[in-house]
Amino acid sequence: MEEQKPPAPEMAKAAPKPAAWLYSEGLLDTSFIGRLKTAGVDVTTIEGTAPVPPMSSDYNTSSGLFNAAYQAMFGRAPKLYVPNSYDAMFVLAMAFQKAQTTDTNSSAFKAALRAVSNPPGVAIRPGEWAKALANITAGNDVDYQGASGAINFDQYGEVGSDYEAWSVNASAGINQKLFIPEGTWTTSSVHSATIHASAVPSGPAAAATNLPIGTLFDLTGALKDFGPDQQNGTILAAADVNSAGGITVAGTNYNLQLFHEDDGTNPTTAGSAATKLVTLDSVKALIGATSSGSSLAAFAVIAPAGIIEISSSSTSPVFTTSDTTDQFWRTAPSDALQGKAASWYAFTHRGWRTMSILYVDNAYGRGLSSVFAADFRARGGTVLRIVAFPVDPTQVDANSILQTLFTPGAGTAYIPTATWRPTEFVAASR
């Protein structure tokens, strides 16, 4: 996710107009589309790509369990990346139980994280902590089938994903127009958009020891629409674990104790919050942050402290190569995948041969735009120009930026974003 600030005042409407707009997951929101339609924008020129859960009965079962539990606890449906935050907490607990250590930077713990999340093994779903505990204690292989999909950590501590191409109709409705299975960008396969107990151990000891875990989400900044619910996802997961036996490591029973901090979608704030979690709260792991920039700042604190960080929404490809100690993990897919999925869709499915790229100048935007540009060129496409716009909305002149982007020439604009912000560029070019 990218970091952004509140919208700037409405901009002039005299900028050049591209043939079409191609977004990432950020504009996949009916309120954003409705705002553009109200402003007189032809929203049918907007398309995008986004990660989607697999089309499988396993996922439908897991997501159904999670959604029902989340609704029961918080009285509303979960938002974007909330299933991922639940999965981060739940699989972390499974790894503690499997590894029999609270040292998250140990080779034993990291091996356990991969072991409990990958097949083969007894399927464990959201809320099934008693089943997980019984099977892990018995020495059985387990395979966590998460609320967000299969959490199969690879050698980089990352997960894969399927994608979709989405479009907008004249009534401002958002439709899935194409399901893009993982790996399609390297093959010719594509599909239509049709969606297809073990023994329970005894409860925790009377005086369970607390196992401190930190969470770091945006509660007050530009991504505050997402952060509180992401935090709720970890709260639900911890409750599921603590209420069904807790974690037992080397004969000591533990309850998960969460320490929550606000990253403010601000790297400086995130770094300070991570420092507090490490030095004062002595957390054994960090779940977060919301944005990639905030996660980078937090990781600068977490790595030397000798614990791991698991993000449920930081998708910048930079983490794949910058983490040389196997301490950054994530339950949301890297934009190294989305960039290629979007490039495949643009070049192969839509037949576009000329693109311009407009990105927010932060870790998210730089990462996703660079992957898209490299892959689009490798397919034989032409990238006319690549233009960055600043994070600070007071420094943005939409008309000037669009003049740079589309004059001379037009083509289609690719805008990787995770918030409302580039809707203003669409409005300015109507």
Residues 6+ apart with CB under 8 A from 192: 178, 179
Phi first, then psi, for residue 98 (nearest 5°) are -70, -45
pTM of this structure: 0.85
Structure tokens, 18: 């591209």
What is the C-alpha to C-alpha distance for residues 81 and 84, in angstroms, rounded to an integer? 5
Q: Which residues neighbour 257 within 8 Å (Cβ) at sequence distance 6 or greater? A: 210, 211, 212, 213
Eight-class DSSP state of 169: -
Instruction: Name 143's bridge partners.
Output: 123
Cα dihedral across residues 422, 423, 424, 426: positive or negative: positive
Structure tokens that stand for 138 in this block: 């018995």
Indicate if the alpha-carbon torsion angle 239, 242, 243, 247 is positive or negative: positive
Task: Please say whether the dihedral angle defined by the alpha carbons of residues 381, 382, 388 and 393, taken in this order, is positive or negative.
Answer: negative
Q: Considering only CA atoms, which of 110, 111, 104, 106 is closest in space to residue 284?
A: 104
The SS3 of residue 389 is strand
Three-class secondary structure of residue 139 per DSSP: coil
Residue 192's pLDDT is 38
Q: Is residue 349 situated within a structural domain?
A: no
Q: Which of 6, 7, 36 lies closest to 21, judged by CA?
A: 36
Full domain range(s) for residue 316: 72-156+203-335
d(CA 124, CA 393): 45
- Cis peptide bond prior to 119, omega within 30° of 0: no
| Cα separation values, 257 from 110, 141, 321, Å | 21, 27, 31
Query: Is residue 315 a contact partner of residue 338, using CB atoms and an 8 Å limit?
Result: yes
Q: Which residues contact 118 (CB under 8 A, 6 or more apart)?
A: 143, 152, 153
Rounded Cα distance, 46 and 379, in Å: 23
For residue 423, the model assigns a pLDDT of: 57
CATH assignment at residue 84: 3.40.50.2300
Nearest to 1 by CA among 42, 51, 47: 51
Ramachandran category for residue 407: left, alpha or beta (phi over 0 → left; psi -120 to 50 → alpha): beta
Question: Quick check: is 390 in a domain?
Answer: no
d(CA 269, CA 285): 18
Sign of CA dihedral 291, 297, 302, 303: positive
Residue 99 lies in a domain: yes
Q: What is the pLDDT of residue 257?
A: 98
Mean pLDDT of successive 10-residue stretches along the chain, which has 430 residues? 39 53 79 80 87 89 97 94 98 98 98 97 98 97 96 95 93 92 70 33 58 97 90 98 96 97 95 98 98 95 98 92 92 93 94 88 87 94 88 74 70 65 59
Asked whether residue 21 is domain-assigned, the answer is no
Does a structural domain hold residue 321?
A: yes
How far apart, in whole angstroms, are the C-alpha atoms of residue 302 and residue 201? 34
* Distance in angstroms (rounded) separating the CA atoms of residues 19 and 294: 34
Domain count within the chain? 1
Residue 137, phi then psi, degrees to nearest 5: -60, -35
Does any domain span residue 139? yes
Tokens at residue 407, please?
């004059």
d(CA 334, CA 318): 9
CB 168 within 8 A of CB 47: yes
Helix axes 363-378, 335-344, angle to 10 degrees: 40
| Chain Cα centroid distance, residue 106 | 25
Q: Which of 283, 276, 291 is nearest to 217 (CA)?
A: 291
